[in-house]
Amino acid sequence: MQKKLLFILLISSVTWAQVANQAFEKGEWLRYRISYSNFFNAGNATLQIKETTYNGKEVYNVIGKGKTTGVISWFFKVKDHYESFFDKDHLLPYRFIRDINEGGYTKNKEILFDHTSHKALVKDFEKNTQNNYDFEQGVQDMISTLYYLRSMDISGLKKGDEISLKMFFDEKNYTFKLKFLGRETINTKFGKVATAKFRPYVQSGRVFKEEESLTVWVFYFYHHSPKLLNSPP
């Protein structure tokens, strides 16, 4: 049986304003439905943007939540909570929270980014430890990466082009790559939607067996918000 994760945009409520990135603003709220093999619902996920202050600076606070529902939750219960606090102008992260439980695999960490010293303070609340790590200039966290990419102008991309950026995750620096596969019109229950198709190079591990395990479709005109993700068998 083919395994597929399908995220379908259900709700988006936002009042758009003139901002530097012109792709998102406070008040945006996205809800996704997750299905297994495109056969039955497996869970849902949400992303919400707020504004707050951090060390005297106005920042975006993105809150991401995900959980399994129905029959799937009987066998593999997931309850994830992510937060990112990042600069409104340069979209650089200052604080990242990861509190997850995925079938008994748990993490409860907080990362504080100092972009002057290029040091990340990682607090592990399960192990009761905190350590400093070096990171490269312009680094992103797991959540801010999505919004940084959404702010980019993709109109000039050609099939096969790659986008690279630096990401700090789980005490390590990674190079995150995204290959542009072209433009595609997909059919949805809301009608035909113009999308841009990408393939991210993700770290292989517990969930995905290969580096090229995902295909992502994003709205081409609707502020580049993710529309659908597919994981092959």
Report pLDDT digits (tens) over 20-33: 456 788 898 888 88
Measured CA to CA, the distance from residue 185 to residue 175 in angstroms comes to 29
What pTM, to 2 d.p., does this model score? 0.81
Angle at 195 between CA 215 and CA 209, to 5 degrees: 5
**Tell me, what's the pLDDT at 202?**
60
In this predicted model, what pLDDT tens digit does every residue of 161-194 receive, in sequence order? 999 889 999 899 988 888 999 998 888 777 888 8
Within 8 A by CB and 6+ apart from 201, the residues are: 176, 177, 178, 179, 211, 212
**Tell me, what's the pLDDT at 191?**
80
Tokens of 8: 């379908």
* Contact status, residue 105 vs residue 115, Cβ threshold 8 Å: no
Low-confidence residues of the chain: pLDDT under 50: 1-20, 205-210, 224-233
**Tell me, what's the pLDDT at 115?**
96
